[in-house]
C-alpha cells in the first residue's frame, strides 16, 4: 500500500483505495478531473507567448503588432496581455493611440478600445481568460488616431495556451 496509508491496518487501507478508485472512475465518467481549462492549462496544453514591435502607423491608419491563427485541433486561452508605446507624443488614456484584439476581424468584447498600456512586453498584465476558437485569426493591432509620426514604436505581447478541442466543456459557449 501507499505511504499515504501508513499507520492504517491493511483492511482499512484497502477500503479507502476502493473508494478512491470508485470516485476517480465516477469523475472520469463525468469528464471532471482537472481544473477549469479557462483558468489553468491541462497537461495536453501547448503554451504560446507572442511578442513584437511595429512602427507607429500614419495618422488614421492601423498596423498589426501580432497575428496568429489558432491551430487545428485546438482552442485557446489568452491570459497575458502587454501593449506599450515607445517614443514621444503619447498620453495614457487620451485616445491618441488605440489598441484592439480581434478574432477573425471582429473586436473581442472589452478589448475593442484599449486606451492605455495594459502591462508591457517585459511585464504583461494577467487578464480574464480570453477564449479563442480553432482556426480563428487573432490580431493585436494599434490604431493611430492623432499622434504625429516621429519614429515611435508600438509593442504587444499575447500569452496563454492552446488546448485540445475535446477538452472544451460540453456546456461551453464555444
Q: Note the pTM of the prediction, 2 decimals.
A: 0.78
Closest-CA residue to 128 (of 170, 99, 160):
160
Closest-CA residue to 75 (of 133, 161, 35, 137):
133
Neighbour tally for 110: CB within 10 Å: 11
- Total residue length of the chain: 174
pLDDT in tens, 105-147: 999 999 999 999 998 888 999 998 999 999 999 999 999 999 9
pLDDT in tens, 44-96: 999 999 999 999 999 999 999 999 999 999 999 999 999 999 999 999 999 99
Phi/psi at 80 (nearest 5 deg)? -130, 140
pLDDT confidence tier of residue 1, bands split at 50, 70 and 90: very low
Statement: residue 171 has pLDDT above 60: yes
Closest-CA residue to 118 (of 146, 78, 88):
78
Amino acid at each position: 500500500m501507499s505511504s499515504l496509508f501508513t499507520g492504517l491496518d491493511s483492511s482499512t487501507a484497502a477500503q479507502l483505495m476502493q473508494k478512491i478508485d470508485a470516485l476517480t472512475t465516477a469523475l472520469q465518467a463525468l469528464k471532471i478531473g482537472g481544473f477549469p481549462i479557462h483558468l489553468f492549462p491541462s497537461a495536453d496544453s501547448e503554451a504560446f507567448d507572442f511578442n513584437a514591435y511595429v512602427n507607429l502607423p500614419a495618422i488614421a491608419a492601423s498596423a498589426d503588432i501580432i497575428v496568429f491563427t489558432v491551430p487545428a485541433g485546438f482552442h485557446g486561452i489568452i491570459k497575458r496581455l502587454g501593449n506599450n508605446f515607445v517614443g514621444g507624443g503619447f498620453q495614457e488614456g487620451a485616445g491618441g493611440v488605440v489598441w484592439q484584439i480581434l478574432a477573425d476581424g471582429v473586436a473581442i468584447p472589452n478589448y475593442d478600445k484599449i486606451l492605455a498600456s495594459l502591462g508591457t512586453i517585459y511585464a504583461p498584465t494577467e487578464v480574464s481568460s480570453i477564449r479563442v476558437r480553432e482556426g480563428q485569426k487573432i490580431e493585436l493591432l494599434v490604431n493611430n488616431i492623432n499622434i504625429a509620426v516621429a519614429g515611435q514604436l508600438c509593442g504587444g505581447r499575447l500569452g496563454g495556451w492552446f488546448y485540445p478541442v475535446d477538452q472544451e466543456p460540453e456546456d461551453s459557449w464555444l
